[in-house]
Structure 1
Amino acid sequence: MIRLTGVSRSFAGRSGTVEALREIDLDVGDGEFVAVLGRSGCGKSTMLRLIAGLLPTTAGEVRVSGDRVTKPRRDIAMMFQRPALLPWRTVLDNVLLPVQFYGWRKSAHRQRAHELLALTGLEGFEKRMPHELSGGMQQRVALCRSLIANPRVMLMDEPFSALDALTREELSGELQRVHMELGATIVFVTHSIDEAVLLADRVVVLSPRPGRIREILDIKIPRPRTLGRTAHLEEVARCSAELHELLMT
């Protein structure tokens, strides 16, 4: 589904060139959930923007479904740290924003929007305004907006980082459920080891800048997952400890 081959990216600045990523080789399978983990400044967000077609590579290439990515595509959705909802639009109209942007018939997607809001626990909030929602609820709306066009690929750049710990864990559970039901391919950037273990099929650990793939860890814990007491608590702890050692070394 997604293939990065020899991908490098540098940025020119006043004090010289900054190398963000160096020679990244990565394959992400159809329907797979891959988390990208690393220290601040290691190029995680840059990698997402390269896959999304928002930035060109300095070297190497990015392909999605066999096609080289050179610009943004309708089958790739991106979700950022902040929900960025339009304050003058209702919840429903915010979800339908991509439909209007692409010039599609709103009536053909309205039912889909209602289904997504119900799936994420927002049924009955369709006519509310963003300021009437909690931060977690706003991010759920942003998730629905990302899903409205049925993207084949979802790129998520620390979407829960601004939320409190309990809300983050709750939304991680919701995202697990949405992924299991809809089956989109997801690349999820995070600083959180717990999020990576809860959500991912594989975790890509990047080295400090320039970001290179240091390790790819398979997470073979049955879903749905939780940080609470379950039969798989020992395996959750083992994966978390291994990721912690990789990041700290």
Structure 2
Amino acid sequence: MIRLSGVSRTFSGRSGTVEALRGIDLDVADGEFVAILGRSGCGKSTLLRIIAGLLPATDGLVSVAGEPVTRARQDIAMLFQRPALLPWRSVLDNVLLPVELFGWRRAKHRARALELLEMAGLGGFEKRLPHELSGGMQQRVSLCRSLVGNPRVLLMDEPFSALDALTRQELSVELQRVHMENRSTIVFVTHSIDEAVLLADRVVVLSPRPGRLRKVVDIDIPRPRTLGRNDHLEEVARCSADLHELLMERERPDAAPESGRASLVEPPRAQAEDLATAGKGQ
């Protein structure tokens, strides 16, 4: 569905040039949920804007469904950190905003909007104004607005970062359910390792600036996933720990991109035995 080939991006300014991304090669399958993880300033949001057609790549090619991305497209929706709801419009009218902007049939999409609001737990709030909703509810409205046109691709730029930890987890569970029912292709930028493991089929780890593809990690854990007590808690914790170790490692300058399951770093045998002994002594 999404193909990136040698994508690079350099910004020029009065103080010189800044290389944000270098040589990104990535394929995202139809219906796949891919999280992009990395330190601040590694180019995650820049990469998302290039896929959306909001920013051109300096080098390389981007295509969605086999068509080159040269500008913003109706089949690609984007969700930002802030809900950006229009304060004078009701919840339903905010969800239907893309319908008006693109000249789609309102009657057809009104039924879709009501269905999405019900799915997001917002049934009965259609006539409320944004200031009457909590931050989490506002972001649910924004998510419904992104999905109302049935986009092929949904790009999400840290959409839960401004919310408290409990609301973030609730919305992560909600997003899993929406994805399982709609099967949109999703690329999700996050700083949160737990969020990436909770949501993604694969996690793409970028190196510090200039952002390069450091490793692609498969998250082979059955859905739905939670961070609470469940049958897969140990697998979630292990994947989170492995990604944390990967992000803490210093990358070799000549390191090539890796791909594999989430079992990234194994301690030496002697160190593992010491850790096991220490664990028994506690």
TM-score when scaled to structure 2?
0.88
One-letter identity of the residue aligned with 2:151: P
CA distance in 2, matches of 1:41, 1:129: 35
One-letter identity of the residue aligned with 2:161: S
CA distance in 1, matches of 2:22, 2:197: 25
SS in 2 for 1:88: coil
CA distance in 2, matches of 1:202, 1:130: 34
SS in 2 for 1:4: strand
CA distance in 2, matches of 1:14, 1:205: 31
SS in 2 for 1:85: coil
**How many residue pairs get matched?**
249
User: What are the superposed Cα offsets for residues 37-80 of structure 1, whole Å, 9 maximum, x if unpaired?
Assistant: 00000000000000000011100000101111000110000000
Relative contact order: is structure 1 or structure 2 higher (C-alpha 8 Å, sep ≥ 6)? 1
SS in 1 for 2:4: strand
1:3 matched residue in structure 2: 3
One-letter identity of the residue aligned with 1:91: V
Are positions 1:241 and 2:245 aligned together? no
One-letter identity of the residue aligned with 2:234: E
Q: How does 1:118-197 map to 2 (within 5 A)?
A: 118-197=118-197
Kindly report the root-mean-square deviation, in angstroms, between the aligned alpha carbons of the 2 structures.
0.5
CA distance in 2, matches of 1:104, 1:150: 12
Deviation at 1:169, TM superposition (A): 0.1
CA distance in 1, matches of 2:202, 2:13: 34
SS in 2 for 1:55: coil
Deviation at 1:233, TM superposition (A): 1.1
Q: Percent identity?
A: 80
Unmatched runs of 5 consecutive residues or more in structure 1: none
Deviation at 1:105, TM superposition (A): 2.0
Unmatched runs of 5 consecutive residues or more in structure 2: 250-282
Are positions 1:89 and 2:100 aligned together? no
TM-score when scaled to structure 1?
0.99
CA distance in 1, matches of 2:45, 2:5: 17
4+ residue runs of structure 1 moved beyond 3 angstroms? Answer: none
Are positions 1:18 and 2:18 aligned together? yes
